[in-house]
Structure 1
Amino acid sequence: MANGESPSLASYKSKFLSDCVSAEALKFGTFTLKSKRISPYFFNAGLFHSAKLARSISAAYASTLASANIEFDVLFGPAYKGIPLAALTVDKLGGIDPKYENISYSFNRKEAKDHGEGGNIVGASLTGKRIVIIDDVITAGTAIREAIEIIKREGGTLVGILVAFDRLEKTPSANDDDGQPRPSAIGEVRRQYGIPVMAILTLDDVVEYLRGIGTEDDIKRLEEYRTKYKASD
């Protein structure tokens, strides 16, 4: 199929996946992760720094939010990676539907400013607002929990979290090959806070997309990895 598009994936997912592969933000091979797992693929959203790719990732974030049917007022981008993602996505949302024209973005400073307007928050106030956190990934969940505490402290209401990629794999353990079911980091956040945690792409999307462009060996390795480390949620 042209450009590796999959008829079973939403068009924005196929487009984003194609751009990820072209930019080598999504690569297939053998990679050692921080968890020491040996993964047949690697996703790096940090490579979306050119104008073309920034447009691609922000359009994919905006399309995912628009399809989620969540009412919100502010996109909150945790420092530092979330800052450009929030700003770019707000711009794209305004072009999707007029109802998003008044959506704002906001982000936190790592250190409070003690002059001028002061405080930790830059952009829209979070007080009394419905907030969606936007970030690249959730690995251990520590950064997301810090962002949630900021929103709570500022008087906002968290209504959702949006990330670029969900590996759908269980959290690591001391005996990682014990075969025991465990939730994913995203699953733990979802259950702890009772809010939707969305992703532009998941490992399932990657496997489906690879059926159109990959080798049988690539597909087999991804499917075996998914089976071995699949989360319980």
Structure 2
Amino acid sequence: MVLKQGTPGASANNATDAQAFVQFCIESGVLRFGEFKTKAGRLSPYFFNAGLFDDGAKLGRLAQFYAQALVASGIEFDMIFGPAYKGIPLGAAVAIELARMGRNVPFAYNRKEAKDHGEGGTLVGAPLKGRVLIVDDVMSAGTAARESIALIKAAGATPHAVVIALDRQEKATEVDEQGQVRDVDHSAVQFVQQQLGLQVCAIAGLSDLLQYLSSQSGGEIASHRDRVMAYRQRYGVE
């Protein structure tokens, strides 16, 4: 399917693939449980670190999950953009996997600092043009998406969609006029969809993680369910 602007959540992979992805992340040590402080200052009972997809086999399997989610979403795009830094290997891996599946699309990425020699500039790879798909790991505040959108528009292309690995499905935060951080009623994904007008596709979401934890009959993994559920009840969005 194709997710339309304004839809409350991200379009996701089918349930079987989402559950397989959660299991893969746990087994790979990418998805961990404990107590982790988020950028918003919350104490989260789980942490997703895409930097731990740290060998060829893991990165290749991850790319398969991304490609499957994109095919299931029905989102159309002309090229891939990987924002620095984590988005660079993710975008490259997805481009390789799509080519293996018979869909060869151009790929580009950016540098954090402009290069003052050689080809110069901040953009590397194929020229940005047409409908651009942004590949990233998670979306905490939508900041990275806004930066990518600005780069893509400045190059004369159209920021069209974003694909992420995990949708945390929790309230975003903003700073009010008094400088206080407060929760808002939408998630970062919903902000990108509703305010920035991009389609968003996620391999899995927090609801998939809870479903996986609930399916475990016992043991250490199942023991984390109640804490993750309590976190969602406090900070989650519909």
Q: TM (normalized to structure 1)?
A: 0.85
**What CA distance in whole angstroms lies between the structure 2 residues aligned with 1:28 and 1:114?**
43
Within the alignment, does 1:229 sit opposite 2:229 as a pair? no
The equivalent of 2:52 in structure 1 is 47
Which protein is richer in strand relative to its size?
A: 2
CA contact 2:141–2:173 (8 Å) conserved in 1: no
Which protein is richer in helix relative to its size?
A: 1
Which of 126, 129, 134 lines up with 2:128 in the alignment? 126
Give the deviation of 1:139 after TM superposition. 1.4
- How many residues align? The count is 218
**What is the one-letter code of the residue matched to 2:24?**
D
The equivalent of 1:150 in structure 2 is 151
- C-alpha deviations, 1:121-150, integer Å up to 9, x for none? 2111113x1100011111122221111000
- C-alpha deviations, 1:2-31, integer Å up to 9, x for none? xxxxxx953432332222111221122333
Instruction: Using CA pairs under 8 Å that are at least 6 residues apart, name the structure with larger relative contact order, 1 or 2.
Output: 2
Give the deviation of 1:197 after TM superposition. 1.5
**What CA distance in whole angstroms lies between the structure 1 residues aligned with 2:86 and 2:184?**
31
**What CA distance in whole angstroms lies between the structure 1 residues aligned with 2:184 and 2:195?**
18
Alignment RMSD: 2.2
The equivalent of 2:188 in structure 1 is 185
**What CA distance in whole angstroms lies between the structure 2 residues aligned with 1:193 and 1:61?**
22
The equivalent of 1:210 in structure 2 is 213
Moved over 6 A (4+): none
Which runs of structure 2 are paired with 1:77-156 in the superposition (5 Å)?
A: 77-96=82-101, 98=102, 100-101=103-104, 103-127=105-129, 129-156=130-157
Q: TM (normalized to structure 2)?
A: 0.83
The equivalent of 2:74 in structure 1 is 69
Give the deviation of 1:37 after TM superposition. 1.7
**Alpha-carbon spacing, 1:227–1:74, altered in 2? closer, same or farther (3 Å):** same
**Alpha-carbon spacing, 1:84–1:181, altered in 2? closer, same or farther (3 Å):** closer
CA contact 1:171–1:231 (8 Å) conserved in 2: no
